Structure 1
Amino acid sequence: FLGAARNIEEGGSLTIIATCLVDTGSRLDDVVYEEFKGTGNMELILSRKLQERRIFPAVDIERSSTRREDLLLGPDLLQRVWLMRRMYIQMISAQPQGAGMDQSVATEAIVTRLDRARNNQEFLENLGRDA
Protein backbone atom coordinates (compact mmCIF):
# COMPACT_ATOMS: atom_id res chain seq x y z
CA PHE A 1 0.00 0.00 0.00
CA LEU A 2 2.62 2.57 0.99
CA GLY A 3 4.74 1.79 -2.05
CA ALA A 4 1.78 2.05 -4.44
CA ALA A 5 2.14 5.80 -4.88
CA ARG A 6 5.63 5.23 -6.29
CA ASN A 7 4.90 2.23 -8.50
CA ILE A 8 2.20 3.17 -10.99
CA GLU A 9 2.79 1.53 -14.35
CA GLU A 10 2.59 3.87 -17.36
CA GLY A 11 2.47 7.04 -15.25
CA GLY A 12 -0.62 8.63 -13.79
CA SER A 13 -1.29 9.46 -10.20
CA LEU A 14 -2.72 7.85 -7.14
CA THR A 15 -4.21 9.76 -4.24
CA ILE A 16 -3.71 8.25 -0.83
CA ILE A 17 -5.20 9.93 2.18
CA ALA A 18 -3.68 8.68 5.39
CA THR A 19 -3.77 9.53 9.04
CA CYS A 20 -1.05 8.83 11.55
CA LEU A 21 -1.02 9.16 15.29
CA VAL A 22 2.33 10.58 16.34
CA ASP A 23 4.04 11.32 19.64
CA THR A 24 2.84 7.99 21.02
CA GLY A 25 6.26 6.75 22.08
CA SER A 26 5.92 3.80 19.69
CA ARG A 27 8.81 3.28 17.29
CA LEU A 28 6.46 1.54 14.84
CA ASP A 29 4.17 4.60 14.74
CA ASP A 30 7.22 6.76 14.01
CA VAL A 31 8.30 4.46 11.14
CA VAL A 32 4.83 4.50 9.57
CA TYR A 33 4.69 8.30 9.88
CA GLU A 34 8.11 8.75 8.27
CA GLU A 35 7.08 6.50 5.37
CA PHE A 36 3.95 8.55 4.72
CA LYS A 37 5.86 11.79 5.14
CA GLY A 38 8.41 10.74 2.53
CA THR A 39 5.78 10.13 -0.16
CA GLY A 40 3.24 12.81 0.66
CA ASN A 41 3.07 16.25 -0.82
CA MET A 42 0.91 17.81 1.87
CA GLU A 43 0.95 17.52 5.64
CA LEU A 44 -1.86 18.75 7.83
CA ILE A 45 -0.72 18.60 11.44
CA LEU A 46 -3.41 18.87 14.10
CA SER A 47 -2.65 20.35 17.50
CA ARG A 48 -3.86 18.57 20.61
CA LYS A 49 -3.39 21.81 22.57
CA LEU A 50 -5.72 23.70 20.22
CA GLN A 51 -8.25 20.89 20.29
CA GLU A 52 -8.24 20.82 24.08
CA ARG A 53 -8.98 24.56 24.09
CA ARG A 54 -11.82 23.91 21.61
CA ILE A 55 -10.17 26.01 18.89
CA PHE A 56 -11.23 24.64 15.54
CA PRO A 57 -9.91 23.94 13.06
CA ALA A 58 -7.12 22.69 15.34
CA VAL A 59 -4.48 23.03 12.62
CA ASP A 60 -0.88 23.57 13.63
CA ILE A 61 -0.20 26.40 11.18
CA GLU A 62 3.54 26.40 11.77
CA ARG A 63 4.04 22.68 11.05
CA SER A 64 1.44 22.13 8.29
CA SER A 65 2.48 22.67 4.70
CA THR A 66 2.21 21.79 1.03
CA ARG A 67 5.40 20.97 -0.81
CA ARG A 68 4.64 22.70 -4.10
CA GLU A 69 2.12 25.40 -3.30
CA ASP A 70 3.67 27.45 -6.09
CA LEU A 71 1.95 25.03 -8.50
CA LEU A 72 -1.42 25.51 -6.79
CA LEU A 73 -1.50 29.27 -6.20
CA GLY A 74 -0.87 32.27 -8.39
CA PRO A 75 2.10 34.51 -7.54
CA ASP A 76 0.03 37.22 -5.80
CA LEU A 77 -1.92 34.77 -3.66
CA LEU A 78 1.23 32.82 -2.88
CA GLN A 79 2.90 35.99 -1.57
CA ARG A 80 -0.13 36.64 0.68
CA VAL A 81 0.01 33.09 2.07
CA TRP A 82 3.72 33.50 2.79
CA LEU A 83 2.96 36.84 4.49
CA MET A 84 0.34 35.14 6.69
CA ARG A 85 2.87 32.49 7.71
CA ARG A 86 5.54 35.11 8.49
CA MET A 87 3.03 37.08 10.55
CA TYR A 88 2.05 33.93 12.46
CA ILE A 89 5.69 33.08 13.19
CA GLN A 90 6.20 36.66 14.38
CA MET A 91 3.19 36.30 16.69
CA ILE A 92 4.52 33.15 18.37
CA SER A 93 8.22 34.06 18.39
CA ALA A 94 9.76 35.04 21.69
CA GLN A 95 10.14 38.69 22.57
CA PRO A 96 11.78 41.10 21.86
CA GLN A 97 11.66 40.16 18.12
CA GLY A 98 8.23 38.58 18.29
CA ALA A 99 5.01 39.08 20.21
CA GLY A 100 5.63 36.02 22.38
CA MET A 101 2.05 34.77 22.05
CA ASP A 102 1.08 31.25 22.95
CA GLN A 103 0.37 29.14 19.84
CA SER A 104 -3.28 28.73 20.80
CA VAL A 105 -3.78 32.48 21.31
CA ALA A 106 -2.17 33.28 17.94
CA THR A 107 -4.21 30.61 16.15
CA GLU A 108 -7.40 31.82 17.79
CA ALA A 109 -6.64 35.36 16.55
CA ILE A 110 -6.25 34.06 13.00
CA VAL A 111 -9.43 31.96 13.20
CA THR A 112 -11.33 35.02 14.48
CA ARG A 113 -10.12 37.07 11.50
CA LEU A 114 -11.00 34.23 9.14
CA ASP A 115 -14.52 34.16 10.59
CA ARG A 116 -14.91 37.89 9.90
CA ALA A 117 -13.84 37.58 6.26
CA ARG A 118 -16.30 36.59 3.53
CA ASN A 119 -13.77 34.16 2.06
CA ASN A 120 -10.09 33.21 2.13
CA GLN A 121 -9.19 35.75 -0.53
CA GLU A 122 -10.65 38.63 1.51
CA PHE A 123 -8.83 37.35 4.60
CA LEU A 124 -5.50 37.28 2.75
CA GLU A 125 -6.08 40.69 1.13
CA ASN A 126 -6.71 42.24 4.56
CA LEU A 127 -3.52 40.90 6.16
CA GLY A 128 -1.45 43.59 7.77
CA ARG A 129 -4.40 45.91 8.30
CA ASP A 130 -5.64 46.71 11.79
CA ALA A 131 -7.56 43.79 13.32
Structure 2
Amino acid sequence: MTTTDAVAPTITLWRPAGPEEMELVRRSGSTRWPPRLPDQPIFYPVLNEEYATKIARDWNVKASGVGYVTRFEVAKSFLDDYDVQQVGGRTILEYWIPAEDLEALNDNIVGLIEEVAVFR
Protein backbone atom coordinates (compact mmCIF):
# COMPACT_ATOMS: atom_id res chain seq x y z
CA MET A 1 0.00 0.00 0.00
CA THR A 2 1.31 3.43 -0.84
CA THR A 3 0.92 6.48 1.35
CA THR A 4 -1.74 7.80 -1.02
CA ASP A 5 -3.91 4.69 -0.64
CA ALA A 6 -6.70 5.26 1.84
CA VAL A 7 -8.35 2.59 3.92
CA ALA A 8 -12.10 3.13 3.98
CA PRO A 9 -13.38 3.71 7.51
CA THR A 10 -15.44 1.00 9.15
CA ILE A 11 -17.73 0.78 12.15
CA THR A 12 -17.51 -2.16 14.55
CA LEU A 13 -20.87 -3.84 15.11
CA TRP A 14 -21.88 -6.63 17.44
CA ARG A 15 -24.63 -9.19 17.03
CA PRO A 16 -26.04 -11.72 19.46
CA ALA A 17 -27.00 -14.91 17.65
CA GLY A 18 -28.60 -18.24 18.39
CA PRO A 19 -27.25 -21.60 17.21
CA GLU A 20 -29.18 -21.79 13.92
CA GLU A 21 -28.13 -18.34 12.79
CA MET A 22 -24.54 -18.97 13.88
CA GLU A 23 -24.41 -22.21 11.88
CA LEU A 24 -25.54 -20.36 8.75
CA VAL A 25 -22.88 -17.68 9.34
CA ARG A 26 -20.23 -20.42 9.63
CA ARG A 27 -21.46 -22.03 6.40
CA SER A 28 -20.90 -18.71 4.63
CA GLY A 29 -17.25 -18.78 5.69
CA SER A 30 -18.12 -16.25 8.40
CA THR A 31 -18.63 -13.56 5.77
CA ARG A 32 -22.43 -13.16 5.56
CA TRP A 33 -25.55 -13.02 7.68
CA PRO A 34 -28.37 -15.31 6.53
CA PRO A 35 -31.57 -13.88 5.05
CA ARG A 36 -34.23 -12.87 7.52
CA LEU A 37 -37.21 -15.14 8.05
CA PRO A 38 -40.65 -13.83 6.99
CA ASP A 39 -41.43 -12.78 10.57
CA GLN A 40 -38.08 -10.93 10.87
CA PRO A 41 -38.40 -7.73 8.80
CA ILE A 42 -35.41 -6.02 10.47
CA PHE A 43 -31.78 -7.03 11.10
CA TYR A 44 -30.54 -5.54 14.39
CA PRO A 45 -26.78 -5.23 14.81
CA VAL A 46 -25.81 -3.42 18.01
CA LEU A 47 -23.08 -0.91 18.76
CA ASN A 48 -21.43 -2.38 21.84
CA GLU A 49 -20.30 -5.70 23.21
CA GLU A 50 -22.03 -5.24 26.57
CA TYR A 51 -25.48 -4.98 24.98
CA ALA A 52 -24.81 -7.92 22.63
CA THR A 53 -23.63 -10.01 25.60
CA LYS A 54 -26.76 -9.23 27.59
CA ILE A 55 -29.00 -10.35 24.73
CA ALA A 56 -26.96 -13.51 24.00
CA ARG A 57 -26.77 -14.50 27.66
CA ASP A 58 -30.25 -13.51 28.79
CA TRP A 59 -32.38 -14.13 25.69
CA ASN A 60 -30.63 -16.53 23.29
CA VAL A 61 -29.67 -19.01 26.02
CA LYS A 62 -33.26 -19.11 27.32
CA ALA A 63 -34.68 -19.48 23.81
CA SER A 64 -32.26 -22.06 22.39
CA GLY A 65 -29.77 -23.19 25.04
CA VAL A 66 -26.82 -21.25 23.62
CA GLY A 67 -26.07 -17.65 22.71
CA TYR A 68 -23.17 -16.28 20.70
CA VAL A 69 -21.71 -12.79 20.64
CA THR A 70 -20.23 -11.80 17.30
CA ARG A 71 -18.21 -8.82 16.14
CA PHE A 72 -17.84 -7.55 12.59
CA GLU A 73 -16.79 -4.45 10.67
CA VAL A 74 -19.04 -2.66 8.18
CA ALA A 75 -18.08 0.12 5.80
CA LYS A 76 -19.08 3.42 7.38
CA SER A 77 -20.23 4.68 3.97
CA PHE A 78 -22.95 1.99 3.96
CA LEU A 79 -24.10 2.70 7.53
CA ASP A 80 -24.27 6.45 6.87
CA ASP A 81 -27.68 5.80 5.26
CA TYR A 82 -29.10 4.50 8.57
CA ASP A 83 -29.74 6.18 11.89
CA VAL A 84 -28.54 4.73 15.18
CA GLN A 85 -31.58 3.81 17.28
CA GLN A 86 -31.52 4.23 21.06
CA VAL A 87 -33.94 1.59 22.33
CA GLY A 88 -33.45 1.87 26.06
CA GLY A 89 -30.65 3.23 28.19
CA ARG A 90 -27.92 5.38 26.72
CA THR A 91 -25.79 2.33 25.77
CA ILE A 92 -28.64 0.34 24.22
CA LEU A 93 -27.93 1.35 20.64
CA GLU A 94 -28.56 -0.53 17.42
CA TYR A 95 -29.04 -0.11 13.71
CA TRP A 96 -32.31 -1.17 12.12
CA ILE A 97 -31.44 -2.63 8.73
CA PRO A 98 -34.53 -3.63 6.71
CA ALA A 99 -34.45 -7.26 5.59
CA GLU A 100 -34.36 -6.17 1.95
CA ASP A 101 -31.07 -4.32 2.65
CA LEU A 102 -29.32 -7.25 4.34
CA GLU A 103 -27.51 -8.41 1.19
CA ALA A 104 -26.12 -4.90 0.73
CA LEU A 105 -24.97 -4.92 4.37
CA ASN A 106 -23.31 -8.30 3.76
CA ASP A 107 -21.55 -6.85 0.72
CA ASN A 108 -20.16 -4.09 2.98
CA ILE A 109 -18.75 -6.35 5.71
CA VAL A 110 -14.99 -5.85 5.89
CA GLY A 111 -13.21 -9.00 7.06
CA LEU A 112 -14.90 -11.84 8.92
CA ILE A 113 -17.77 -12.16 11.36
CA GLU A 114 -15.94 -13.22 14.53
CA GLU A 115 -17.36 -15.24 17.41
CA VAL A 116 -16.15 -13.51 20.57
CA ALA A 117 -18.20 -15.26 23.28
CA VAL A 118 -20.48 -18.24 23.84
CA PHE A 119 -23.00 -18.64 26.65
CA ARG A 120 -24.78 -21.85 27.65
TM-score bucket of the superposed structures, by smaller chain: under 0.3
TM-score, reference length from structure 1: 0.21
TM-score, reference length from structure 2: 0.22
Bigger-Rg structure (1/2) = 1
Q: Which has the higher contact order (CA 8 A, sep 6+)?
A: 2
